[in-house]
Structure 1
Amino acid sequence: MDAHLIDSEIFGHQWSTPESHAIFAEPSRVRRWLEVVIALAEAQAEVGVIPAGSAVAIAGLRDRELDVVAIGESTRATSHSTLGMIQVLRTLLPADAAEHVYYGTTVQDISDTAQVLEIGAVADLLWRDLWAIEAELLALASTHRETAMVGRTHGQPGAPITFGFKAATWADETGRNLERLRSGRDRWLVGQLGGAVGVLGFFGSRAMPLRTAYCRRLGLAEPAISWLTTRDRPAEFAQVVASLTTSAARIANEVYVLARAELGELREPTSAATVGSISMPHKRNPEVSEQVVTLARLVRSLSGVLSDTMVGEHERDGRSWKTEWVVLPELCHYALAATGMTRSLISSLEVDPTRMRANLESTGSATSERLLSAMSERLGKHHAQATLHQAYREASESGRTLKAVLEGRVEAGELAELDRVHTGAAAAMADEVVARARRRREKESTSWR
């Protein structure tokens, strides 16, 4: 039985997605390694390193179902990361072609390049999810541009904002994460072909043409220099994924807080089958929001581990890239689960403008900033602040209304501010976020590549 939650039949949907499993399942990884081996053979034939017939024979393995169990047995017997697969491949080839599998290269040439292909597959899905999340947030920002609610600082009621303003801050941040993903594409999708110590000494004068052909066949950029111990590319990818997942967690955490019964301004979507609590039937738990925050916490932690892999020794250091083999897939499972959940959360988020208005009116925070502004013109800001501070204290201690306390102390025009709700430039800022994002999106593709 699988022990990890990612693979759990019961809980796996909370920690991974069918798409993440399609990328990282062991048969998928073996096929990806095989594609790299085939591209290598074809490139070697192209530049005259191996006979064309050998490359044709090796490419003919593309549609063969490789025996993962046999590969595992051979890997354990040889104690070598890729020799197990190479030995299985050799049994499937004619004797002459079998000599040209994995010819003159090393583990990292295959594993690093395959990992780059995995990064590309994951980034495609992350881009798709963020693109959809941003669209939903922009719609919320437009719809609720004037929906007044309490703005909170230090966990306490502050001055009024609009829900559209809040949603626009989420959208604006999501847009920057899209930009981060896009800007990393050309840095991350880079092939690896370095040989034993990075200098491709096995191939002599054919080394550089071979690397060019190899990367071209895989649809990857060619690096200026081998990056066997230069691990900033996967580390940067992990950092960007941590950033975008944490941005999703900020949204989810806000939903979690605003869904509290005493606030009730937002609610997660639920179905008739959703059960909040077995023992307390009245409850409607924010399960999705909780899970997104949890997943982001794990992604940040794993990203830190991948940053550590940037410190490696000399020209090859298995401690770096073998750490990536474990950590990067796990990070990607969690990230794709988090963005998928956030997409679902935002697309059906329940917004309660009536409750937002009621909370605003009940806190006494709706007018304090504007009243201070009006009084500051006459009294000066600091004098006005002291006056209002004392008035709020008196109202709280005596049970009288603020208006009753202030009558006779302030002018009628100033007192009239108590009957108004000002949300400042909230709507204008929300509009600006929407306008800028839509202009940017018109120039971008809905796909990462």
Structure 2
Amino acid sequence: MDSHLIDSTIFGHQWATSESRAIFSEKSRVARWLEVVIELAQAQAECGIIPGDSAEKISQLRTVALPIEEIAERTRQTSHSTLGMIQVLRDLLPGTSAEHIYYGATVQDITDTSQVLELRAVGALVWRDLWMLEDGLLELAVRHRLTPMAGRTHGQPGAPISFGFKVASWADEVGRHLQRLSEGRNRWLVGQLGGAVGTLAFFGDRALDLRAAFCRRLSLGEPNIAWLSARDRVAEFSHLIAMCVSSLARIANEVYALQRREIGELAEKARASTVGSITMPHKRNPEVSEQIVTLARLVRAQASVLTDTLVHEHERDGRNWKTEWVAFPELCHFALAASSMARELVSGLEVDPTAMSRNLGFGASSEHLLSAMSARLGKHRAQGLLQDAYREAREDGRPLRAVLQGIATQAELAELSDVDLGASGAMVDRVVDTAVRRRASETGQWL
């Protein structure tokens, strides 16, 4: 039972959450299938397809503890995805009620609709985590709106930015994901009722009324057409989740890099019991950050697998939706683990403004100085002179100011002491204002 790291007693906390396990456990899966079967029966009774008494008897199965092992044994015997459960349920029903369970339905009606219910549960948790994460990032951006640090390009220190500017970029990206989750919700949360090949011929002229009632009872949208072979909804949601988690990995990757002791600008919050290395006692490893990056890789991999399911053959192709049964839960476990860790990372993030200031280095004012000299000499001439001067100071070990004496005016040399954050603060303000306005029309609840 614990052969997968998701279910590992020792390592499971790094690959899943208690909430993700509650959604995808065997018991929950069977209970979800049963709920779909019950609501189908209720909708059929509502439309006059089966007797109301049968629907009521079927509904009473909610109170029965289903025998998972017996369902498993019958599934192996029948080699059918849901018939084992249906046989067990039929044995639990009196009289003709047993003939009315799973009436006119097929595997995908039950499992696809159940998967949409899983998607809804996962989407709600991702929304909650991103909503809370954005709130923490916005607060951090405001607090460090003008805290100077080195902006870095190609892995090297460049011109100054504020730490709030960096964080606001993270927050802005998370905010766009919240918008995407909001925009896609009605597109993804639709039920499936297609019957044998999607036409619902079994139900005659009551087919579409039944489908509408079925979806309404499950609080799902009704599709225009059966989507037995159209898997774009699952793939789209999965790729958005992959984007969300990759954005979390961008944040984590920055913390991972900036926690290096030779940089020391950020650090994960560490408990006293945390051990970085059993052979190097001085170490304080960015465990959470590296795990988020690892999880993001796995989420992207599963999202890619789920894209493959778009290539379907004819009106039903078990090779594809059975692939989803494996890839989709794994993607969701990893994603929810990552979003939970990201909240923990940001809420406990340690920021060292002193280290940030120290790491600005002697090139911190180069762009500012270039701007000042460009007004007098022209941009390209000033850039060439300054590049030579900085190289000379670096290679000869001479003070930069002394090297610049012959090419810069005293007013221009005064720019060396300035740390120009450009429009960092103004951009932070814009991000925060935009987020505050958007969040005023939202809540922490996806649905």
* Secondary structure class of the residue paired with 2:161: strand
Q: Spell out, residue by residue over 1:171-190, the C-alpha distance to the aligned partner (whole angstroms, 9 max, x if none).
A: 00000011111111001110
Query: d(CA) in 2 for partners of 1:337 and 1:212?
Result: 35
Give the equivalent residue in structure 2 for 1:159: 159
Equivalent-residue separation in structure 1 for 2:443 and 2:304 (angstroms): 31
Which of 420, 433, 436 is the matching residue for 2:434?
436
What is residue 212 of structure 1 aligned with on the other side?
A: 212
Distance 1:25 1:70 in 2: 17
Between the aligned partners of 1:408 and 1:191, the Cα distance in structure 2 is 75
- TM-score, reference length from structure 1: 0.99
Is 1:145 aligned with 2:145? yes
Q: Provide Cα deviations, 1:70-92, integer angstroms capped at 9, x if missing partner.
A: 00000000000000000000111
> Within 5 A, what are the aligned runs for 1:3-402?
3-360=3-360, 363-402=361-400
Give, as a single letter, the amino acid of the residue that structure 1 aligns with 2:401: K
Question: 2:11, 2:271 → 1: CA distance?
Answer: 19
Q: What CA distance in whole angstroms lies between the structure 1 residues aligned with 2:194 and 2:270?
A: 52
Partners of 2:28 and 2:49 lie apart in 1 by 29
Do the aligned residues in 2 keep the contact of 1:160 with 1:365 (CA within 8 Å)? no
Distance 1:94 1:206 in 2: 26
For residues 328 and 121 of structure 2, what CA distance do their matches in structure 1 show? 13
TM-superposed CA distance for 1:393, in Å, is: 1.1
CA distance in 2 between partners of 1:410 and 1:189 (Å): 64
CA contact (8 A) 1:268 1:349 kept: yes
User: How many Å separate the matches in 2 of 1:373 and 1:166?
Assistant: 23
State the alpha-carbon separation in 1 of the partners of residues 388 and 27 from structure 2. 71
Task: Specify the SS of the correspondent of 2:359.
Answer: helix
The amino acid that maps onto 1:422 is D
Q: 1:211 is paired with a residue of what secondary structure? A: helix
Three-state SS of the structure 1 residue aligned to 2:149 is strand
Counterparts of 2:390 and 2:340, CA distance in 1? 46
> For 1:152-178, what per-residue CA distance to the aligned partner results, in whole angstroms no more than 9, with x for missing partners?
000011000000000000000000011
Give SS of 1:443's match: coil
The 8 Å contact of residues 150 and 365 in structure 1, kept in 2 or not, is answered as: no
Within 2, Cα distance between the matches of 1:124 and 1:329?
15
Contact 1:109 1:195 in 2 (8 A): yes
Amino acid at match of 1:169: S
- State how far apart, in whole Å, the 2-side matches of 1:278 and 1:365 are: 39
Residue of structure 2 equivalent to 1:427: 425
One-letter amino acid of the structure 2 residue matched with residue 269 of structure 1: K
Structure 1 residues not aligned, in runs of 5+: none
Distance 2:407 2:114 in 1: 74
Question: Aligned letter for 1:313?
Answer: E
CA shift for structure 1 position 364:
1.2
How many Å apart are 1:257 and its aligned residue?
0.1
SS at match of 1:99: helix
Alpha-carbon shift at residue 410 of structure 1 (Å): 1.3
Alpha-carbon distance in 2 for matches of 1:123, 1:394: 56
User: Alignment length, in residue pairs?
Assistant: 447
Contact map agreement 1:191 1:222 (CA 8 A) in 2: yes
The Cα of 1:320 is off from its aligned counterpart by: 1.0
Decide whether the 8 Å contact of 1:148 with 1:162 is kept in 2: yes
Deviation at 1:408, TM superposition (A): 3.1
Percentage identity across aligned positions? 66
TM-score (ref. length: structure 2): 0.99
Amino acid at match of 1:157: P
Q: Distance in 1 between matches of 2:186 and 2:363?
A: 49
Structure-2 separation of matches of 1:356 and 1:63: 60
Q: How much does 1:396 deviate?
A: 1.2
Q: Over residues 131-165 of structure 1, what are the superposed CA-to-partner deviations in whole Å (9 max), with x where a residue is unaligned?
A: 01000000111000000000000001100000000
**4+ residue segments displaced more than 3 Å:** none
CA deviation after TM superposition for structure 1 residue 95, in Å = 2.2
Write the letter of the residue equivalent to 1:7. D
CA positional deviation for 1:272: 0.8
> What is the rounded CA distance, in whole Å, between the counterparts of 2:388 and 2:209 in structure 1?
80
Opposite residue 14 of structure 1, the aligned amino acid is Q
Q: What code does the residue aligned with 1:294 have?
A: T
Q: Specify every segment of 5 or more residues in structure 2 that has no aligned partner in the other structure, as ranges.
A: none
Q: Distance in 1 between matches of 2:314 and 2:387?
A: 65
Residue 63 of structure 1 deviates from its aligned partner by 1.4
Displacement of 1:242 in angstroms is 0.2
Q: Matches of 1:258 and 1:282 in 2, distance apart?
A: 17
**Which residue identity is paired with 1:305?**
V
**What is the distance in 1 between the residues matched to 2:406 and 2:92?**
97
Letter aligned with residue 386 of structure 2: L
Secondary structure at the aligned position of 1:283 is classed as coil
Partners of 1:445 and 1:286 in 2: CA distance? 32
Amino acid at match of 1:200: L
Per the TM alignment, residue 409 of structure 1 is displaced from its structure 2 partner at its CA by: 2.1
